[in-house]
Structure 1
């Protein structure tokens, strides 16, 4: 699942990834299958290259990655998935984008709509919230004693990053989508490892939530996370200070 650039979301997602690694691998596997339909070589398929980077950042075994790519390229039998995106609003008008890979769009649409309705939200039309987001490359790096913030920032910016920021426990590097791979490669060449490395949707405006709304919205996110058809969720919620899911 993908949220925005606030450390709370990154931390929550990392914890859930550790607890539900099998489910995460299943979802990334679908992404690899979809991306590999446009070519099985990451050298010529930028989308596949990005998803492979995401898979590696999640510590997905190379055998799983290779098998999914072969399925997408038609070398192994595979289910035919569709890429469908839903847009809507959660509690307090939080903007939400849901990306799904599904073999049954009626099932997925019904499940997503039910989840929004159940937890105080509603689905909108295509384009109803995407204007509140920018597509960006995002790399999240854990703070350690070995990493010098100033040196890391200069390395990232010189490689072509748009922005560098320090959160409580991590550094965040933001790039234009087309610069993502080159910046990531430059950092990797210096031995930098990532908690996350992916193309994502970052809000250009945030919706602040109080404690009650934070709890309601987290329940909506958790329910979407349980749906095997849902791959990524982006939103512009700013959780209440002190909120822990």
Structure 2
């Protein structure tokens, strides 16, 4: 798990993201719209849409909102939403990938360029940092009474890359595990785990850093503040970085 993912989970545990609930629903709606637009409007026939709907439900998004988002994907007269990926460097040379969903690419590019430059970084060309990341599937599970060894044995499925602690809760407080997959195997692995009686909490595609960097003590707060600012932008869906942090340091900054 990346340092930024740990930071996000620490904020969740400490209730630091409650104020973002409304913005979250907007982001979830955009993901549903994009998924439905690029495939079937039936979640059973569109795994990306199914993941988006499952995520929306997990975040208590009302069913009517979900239905409206799916309908909007084919609605005439609606503003066109497109996916754009931005790459660049932030404070301390940290590599960053930003996935955005926008109805105005010029506005989004301008605002993100400003965020990067204001935080001692800069946007780069496509591919400028992408080579330091790999696409992966993440299936977060609740193993029940199983330990990591037992779960790993149960997860010997084609397409599984790794099994690791998720870090979404402190040790001893119901911490779960992540089953890491090849991207194309995500849904097959999810279905196989559920068929084996394992509770799946979520399934998603991510970009994981293959080369990481550890910001020094004086830079950690700058980097985390920058990543938070990106995540809070209304057009940003996902933020990935290659920064790694010491968990004690993250707790101190939370």
Instruction: Name the TM tier (shorter chain).
Output: 0.7 to 0.9
* 1:86-119 Cα distance to aligned partner (Å, 9 max, x none): 1000112111001111111111111101111111
1:8: which partner in 2?
Answer: 6
TM-fit CA distance, 1:135: 0.6
Which aligned pairs between 1:1-245 and structure 2 lie closer than 5 A? 4=2, 8-12=6-10, 14-15=12-13, 18-38=18-38, 39-74=40-75, 78-141=78-141, 146-158=145-157, 160-166=159-165, 169-189=175-195, 190-194=197-201, 196-244=202-250, 245=254
State the TM-score, normalizing by the size of structure 1. Answer: 0.86
For the residue of structure 2 that corresponds to 1:157, the secondary structure is coil
Q: Which runs of 5+ in 2 are unaligned?
A: none
Query: Is 2:81–2:102's contact at 8 Å kept on the other side of the alignment?
Result: yes
**Could you tell which deviates more after superposition, 52-61 or 83-92?**
52-61
| TM-align CA RMSD | 2.5
For the residue of structure 2 that corresponds to 1:201, the secondary structure is strand
State the TM-score, normalizing by the size of structure 2. Answer: 0.83
Q: Which runs of 5+ in 1 are unaligned?
A: none
Query: Is 1:157–1:164's contact at 8 Å kept on the other side of the alignment?
Result: no
